[in-house]
A and B are shown apart, each in its own frame.
Chain A
Amino acid sequence: MKPIDALAKVCSDVRPAYPEEGVLGVLPRFVAAPAGVAEAAETMRAAAEHGLAVIARGMETRLDWGLPPQRCDLLLDTHRMDRIVEHAAGDLVVSAEAGTPIEKINAEVAAHGQRLSLDCPIFASSVGGTIATAAAGPRRLLYGAPRDLVIGLTVVRADGKIARSGGKVVKNVAGYDLGRLFAGSWGTLGLIVEATFRLHPVCEATAYVSAVLPDAAAAHEAVQAVLHSPVVPAAVECAAAPGGIEVCVMVEGVAAGVPARADRVSSLLGGADVAEEPPEWWGRYPDGTTLVEITAPPAALARASWLTGAATWSASGHGLLGLEAGPEQVTETVNELRAAHTAVVRYAPEPVRDALDVWGPVPALSLMRRVKDQFDPDHRLSPGRFVGGI
């Protein structure tokens, strides 16, 4: 049987790929969109039998991140797997299939005064894509990233078998936590098909307190004052702004408490504006053709000379720098950053990608390869897209 026939036998939506469906220029042969977990498993099994290289596609907001795949036969599209499987409101947990947009979850649970505390400014991001890329926005400071909010995960392995870890309760230490392992694995370990998240109550009130500080050192002092105070901010973000660096602190809580906390933050920042809406740059990517993500401890802000132009910094220890420059200049900037921090090039035009090491140095790489070899011995899942050629 030809691969496409084998796929069509088990999956209700299979077709040849369109020319515009290349992943960073690598054109898949087929696209399959299974309708549910069982169908996804059968599709993966058929792909295994035919030795097909598989790349998962969520809502395609970040499919152009990372490196181009070494090969890609099958694009496995999750958009038909968009069921909210269960919302246990009294237990503050929700389970959804991998193709479910995060926004859909939030719309559903909002009716019960709940939310998934992952910032998700790209409207369409899917559950699977969000976990696979470990995506998190400003509120990571208080609520964490997908690794912290996923309490149960179901995946389809390279060989088509369905495996689950964790469960439906927040407190659970039975077995290894594959949810944390798959968070940020970029589709290289298996296909995420369903996830269970813990939820939080929606807060009654929110305030954003902003001030522009003259330079990184002053911004650092201000941020430190807030972090070491007991106001418990939900997020503390900085952005390069005309006249220096704008620091914006998000405070959420009960309506009776937020104004006093916002006032306190305002005085810690040396007098600041309090607003109900965030500044325009909040939770967005800085502009640029290349995006660099910097990971460093909070105090790195004091010497963040890179925080100019199109750049943001989160007090959770993550910075984003947008660059509009050629390979040489980007390489120089990235190397400077890497002298002190971890810096990963999230996306970049081809000439830039070719000129530098996108992922940068990776500690424990050989251990990662050994884990990869266990999960995907034939290297068919998103081959070559991840660190060290994984």
Chain B
Amino acid sequence: MGEALTRLAERFTALLGADSVITDPVRLRTYECDGLTSHRATPGVVVLPGTAEQVAAVVRACVAEGVPYVARGSGTGLSGGALPRTDGVLIVTSRMRRILDIDIPNQRAVVEPGVINLDVTRAVRDQGYHFAPDPSSQQVCSVGGNVAENSGGAHCLKYGFTAHHVLACEVVTPDGEIVELTAGGPGYDLLGVFVGAEGTLGITTRITVRLTRLPETVQTLLAAFDSIESGGAAVSAIIGAGVVPAAVEMMDALSIEAAEAAVRCGYPPGAGAVLIVELDGPGSEVAHQFAEVERLCRAAGAFEVRIAAGDAERALIWRGRRSAFAAVGRISPAYLVQDGVIPRTSLPKVLARIDALSAESGVRVANVFHAGDGNLHPLVLFDDAEPGATERAEEVSGAILDLCIEHGGSITGEHGVGVDKSRYMPRMFTDTDLDTMQMVRCGFDPAGLCNPGKVFPTPRLCGEAPGVRKGVHPLVEQGKADLF
């Protein structure tokens, strides 16, 4: 451990107590990666603060030493956003897990950043509410991590992403100040840019989330098709008919095979693709549209349509889809999870190109996707024991991202850029675009110590703050001094 880190560890122990500071190399290793296990680094020091004031004190100490720091929630991120720095401090929010307030009349709750996503819903479900963002990792991921990644889930097609469900964040800024960012207040919508900034603009220590009324009715169907093309045609027909489903998920033959092997989900045999469509809302609304969806699926060539008669059957329908990622582990020694987005109408074209890529390279690709919004999760299968296989898989995975960009899409729909995809950012954005985004970062974090090396391939030099002070001096603004 370097001198600065040693001094910091001592300082943290004095500030937070010895049980909140980890320096033991074996224990530090627990934090060496997030959900993207291909990138690892043992953090210099880990701290487990319990309050915003402690987070602020830790950040200020890091700034004083010029040491970089990274926030970590539950460490389920899939792009290496919470990858620590060997020369830095990892600030873990797992001791900040209190739900501070539930305010049903105002349809909101106030939580600490380490609170688990699903715990918010569990706390309000009896009162007829839920926290709408539902990443598949919702049993473990933290609300702070959701804010940083602007996470979404299967139901974000209708309900939107975390950004639409966060009303305010208390934030420890990169210079250690505690500020409140709100949506809809006077001034810039800094909250809007903070959400989704992948922990590069500060650490949120308290989050006010919107609570959404549980729907009166939920209806789910599973439709089996011969091919991805006819499944895709059904999706287009549904959206074209003006239906906004709560979720539309699709799986191809290979991922169905994997799910079948893993959890015996009992999907219709011989299906080239299955589609899961869920509608929710007022009963009268759903009943009408659901009949329409069923009709459209059959018209597009569904050879079997199953309708969930209740929660148990609904869970059964979802089981195959939910298990898909883990399931491919059964049919392949190793795999990469890709996350790309295309305009939904390009689905057939892009899937055909992925097929071709797979055929040319001999690398198998299982396709699972949020079909309603064109968010693809191709699972690239390979045998890591075979020389060169990892590289070939990575090549295919990267080529899929190129396909997404070529079709006017995005390199990530929900997993974020992190360290994993920063090198792809210049394929999607110009240097000026990236430079402009980093102007925000320079405003928040001129020293570049807050989660550096993430999102952007090359840091922007923030330069000196303008020499001539413009506007009001901060001390004047705070009422602490007057200028004469």
Contacts and interface: CB of A to CB of B under 8 A. Distances in A.
Contacts of A200: 244
B433 interface: yes
B239 A232 contact: no
A201 B180 contact: no
Contacts of B416: 173
A368 B187 contact: yes
Given A177-B193, A344-B186, A363-B179, A374 B429 contact: no
B150 A90 contact: no
Interface in B386-411: 408-411
Interface residues of A, number: 86
Nearest to B150: A173
B48 to A, nearest CB: 27
Interface stretch (B51-59, B303-311, B350-358, B471-479): B471-479
B2 interface: no
B242 to A, nearest CB: 3
Interface string B434-449: 1111011111101000
Contacts of B287: 256-257
B207 interface: no
B429 A175 contact: yes
A176 B409 contact: no
Contact of A370 (B103, B185, B444): B444
B164 interface: yes
A224 B127 CA distance: 14
Interface stretch (A27-35, A267-275, A293-301): A293-301
A260 interface: yes
Contact of A373 (B103, B417, B470, B472): B470
Interface string A187-201: 001000000000011
Interface stretch (A162-170, A207-215, A283-291): A162-170
A227 B288 CA distance: 23
Nearest to B243: A201
B251 interface: no
B196 A254 contact: no
A303 interface: no
Contact of A231 (B149, B239, B282, B341): B282
A169 B30 CA distance: 37
A192 B283 CA distance: 42
Interface stretch (A55-63, A178-186, A323-331): A178-186
B207 to A, nearest CB: 15
B156 interface: yes
B323 interface: no
Nearest to B160: A148
B477 A171 contact: no
Interface stretch (A16-24, A102-110, A237-245, A382-390): A382-390
A342 interface: yes
Interface string B328-354: 000000000000011111000000000
Contacts of A173: 149-150, 161, 196, 410, 412-417
Contact of A90 (B190, B239, B421): B239
A44 to B, nearest CB: 13
A364 interface: yes
Contacts of B285: 232, 253-254, 257, 261
A108 B152 CA distance: 30
B413 A172 contact: yes
A373 B432 contact: no
A169 B240 contact: no
Which interface residue of A88, A91, A174, A390 has the most chain B CB atoms within 10 A?
Answer: A174
Contacts of B375: 171
B128 interface: yes
B270 interface: no
A372 B472 CA distance: 13
Which interface residue of B163, B409, B470 has the most chain A CB atoms within 10 A?
Answer: B470
B38 interface: no
Interface string B194-217: 011100000000000000011110
B417 to A, nearest CB: 6
A318 interface: yes
Contacts of A84: none
B410 A174 contact: yes
Contacts of A369: 470-471
A366 B188 CA distance: 11
A174 B193 contact: no
Given A147-B192, A173-B413, A175-B417, A365 B477 contact: yes
A389 B440 contact: no
Given A173-B149, A390-B471, A362 B186 contact: yes
A369 B190 CA distance: 11
B373 interface: yes
A47 B343 CA distance: 37
Interface in B360-382: 370, 373-375
Contacts of A344: 186
B281 interface: yes
Interface stretch (B11-19, B88-96, B105-113): B105-113
Contact of A364 (B190, B196, B439): B190
A157 B30 CA distance: 44
Interface string B169-194: 00001000001111111111110110
B335 to A, nearest CB: 22
Which interface residue of A179, A184, A200, A203 has the most chain B CB atoms within 10 A?
Answer: A184
A379 to B, nearest CB: 6
B373 A169 contact: yes
A179 B188 CA distance: 11
A230 B474 CA distance: 47
A2 interface: no
B244 A169 contact: no
Contact of A168 (B189, B239, B408): B408
Contacts of A232: 213, 215, 281-282, 285
A168 to B, nearest CB: 5
Interface in A328-386: 342, 344, 359-360, 362-375, 377, 379, 386
A365 B471 CA distance: 11
A134 interface: yes
B281 to A, nearest CB: 6
A348 to B, nearest CB: 15
A304 interface: no
22 contacts: A134-B184, A148-B164, A161-B432, A162-B432, A164-B429, A169-B410, A171-B156, A171-B161, A173-B196, A175-B433, A178-B437, A184-B189, A232-B281, A253-B285, A256-B284, A363-B180, A364-B181, A367-B443, A367-B444, A369-B471, A373-B443, A379-B470
| CB-based closest 4 A-B pairs | A180-B192, A201-B242, A230-B216, A163-B436
